[in-house]
Amino acid sequence: MSGLQDAIPPARPVIGEAEIEAAVRVLRSGMVVQGPEVAAFEAEFGEIVGGRHCVAVNSGTSALQLSLMALGFGPGDEIIVPSFSFAASANAVRLVGATPVFADIEAGSFCLDPDAVAAAITPRTVAIMPVHLYGHPAAMDRIMQIAGQHSLAVVEDAAQAHAAALNGTPVGSFGAAGCFSFYPTKNMHSLEGGMISTGDAGLARTLRLLRNQGMEARYQNEIVGANMRMTDVAAAIGRVQLGQLEGWTEQRRANAAYFDANLTGVVVPPVSEGARHVYHQYTIRVQGDRDAFQAGLKELGIGNAVYYPTPIHELRPYLNEDGQVGDWKLPETDRAAREVVSLPVFPSLTQEQLERIVESVNTVAARA
Ligand SMILES: *Cc1c(COP(=O)(O)O)cnc(C)c1O
């Protein structure tokens, strides 16, 4: 019934004919480095972040790192981040020489808990980096309020949350900078790529300088910069994908609604009031034996994955000097890392596949 042949993968990046044609068109033009396609992609992406300035870069990690550099953060500065995220969130902090301070998450949204953020603030804190994990917007209303009270910058890690919103305000338009990823498995991609959104024209200019050796005019270097440019080939692919994003997002949300209504024996992902969840992942909690649950699903041909089995504070680069896990108090982070499983929710799932996923999850959950 469910041989390898019709196994459902956990994710299915799209590289369609339109993407291939766009890439070929740019390749044939011979002008492949950052140029008119990048400029057009930036302008078009601005429309999903409330008309903010957008600066394209070569990855989501570069977007985070460049934002922190542009804001002037470095050694001695503390930046509050969730430990329950992809390592890139904390890596960006360390790459500029600053110190990540891990705060716990909310049980419901899997995103930073504003109370935990407030409790983590010290005289050295300079910024908060909420991650809109799995496509659910973090509690930006309260986080912006806390940041305002303490004069802290907010850098949003929106790598998983293109077009997510809270009370109608899109992610990437709350903080000083919003950082998106266009890695193939994200809700839209450009092969590799990233985007920074900002409401501050001065910061946008600094970001443009930093991504290109500190130059606006060629060989008139103004500051020390990196090379984090996006190619025009990547931008052309990103533009095609951006044109599909709204339809894909609605399909992800419809798939999630079907799961919400039909899954039994597992905890379906809660959605905060006012949140537009874009379901980069559809992540359930399994309270029994998760290994057995995952193996059972795999046997039935249902791809699934754990994001993330090890919280960042337990990864080697984030251990204490003596190699031990630091003295963090992150009970919801630890619990999520033990319980979560993400199911396939990508837009091209068929009704038959959705039904098979539901049947399989319910069967395996009943056994546990
Ligand atoms: C994917 C991702 C990143 C990094 O993006 P890349 O484009 O892979 O560099 C950062 N943060 C989170 C939460 C991500 O999921």
Pocket of ligand 1, candidates 79, 89, 307: which has the most ligand atoms within 8 Å of its Cβ, to mutate? Answer: 89
Asked if 298 is an active-site residue, the reply is: no
Task: Tell me the pLDDT tens digit for each residue of 321-368.
Answer: 999 999 999 999 999 999 999 999 999 999 999 999 999 999 999 987
Domains 17-240 and 244-367 equal at CATH topology level? no
CA dist 368 and 366 (Å) reads 6
Core vs surface per residue 43-55: b (16+ CB within 10 A) or e? eebbebbbebbbb
Say if CB 152 and CB 121 are below 8 A apart: yes
Q: What is the pTM of this model?
A: 0.97
Atom index in ligand 1 nearest the CA of residue 160 equals 15
Query: What's the CA-to-centroid distance between 119 and ligand 1, angstroms?
Result: 26
Atom index in ligand 1 nearest the CA of residue 280 equals 15
Q: What are the boundaries of each domain within the chain?
A: 17-240, 244-367
Predicted pLDDT at 108: 97
Q: Which fold has domain 17-240?
A: Aspartate Aminotransferase; domain 2 (3.40.640)
Query: What's the CA-to-centroid distance between 357 and ligand 1, angstroms?
Result: 27
Ligand 1 site residues, Cβ closer than 6 angstroms: 59-61, 85-86, 88-89, 131, 157, 159-160, 181, 183, 194
Q: Considering Cα of 68, then 73, then 75, then 77, what sign does the dihedral take?
A: negative
Query: What's the CA-to-centroid distance between 154 and ligand 1, angstroms?
Result: 17
Task: Tell me the pLDDT tens digit for each residue of 251-272.
Answer: 999 999 999 999 999 999 999 9
User: If you take atom 6 of ligand 1, which residue's CA is the nearest one?
Assistant: 60
Of residues 52, 53, 162, 186, which has the active-site annotation?
186
Predicted pLDDT at 201: 98
Q: Which residues of the chain have pLDDT under 50?
A: 1-5
Say if CB 11 and CB 346 are below 8 A apart: yes
Atom index in ligand 1 nearest the CA of residue 61 equals 9
Pocket of ligand 1, candidates 57, 61, 307, 342: which has the most ligand atoms within 8 Å of its Cβ, to mutate? Answer: 61
Superfamily of domain 244-367: Aspartate Aminotransferase, domain 1 (3.90.1150.10)
The one-character DSSP state at 287 is -
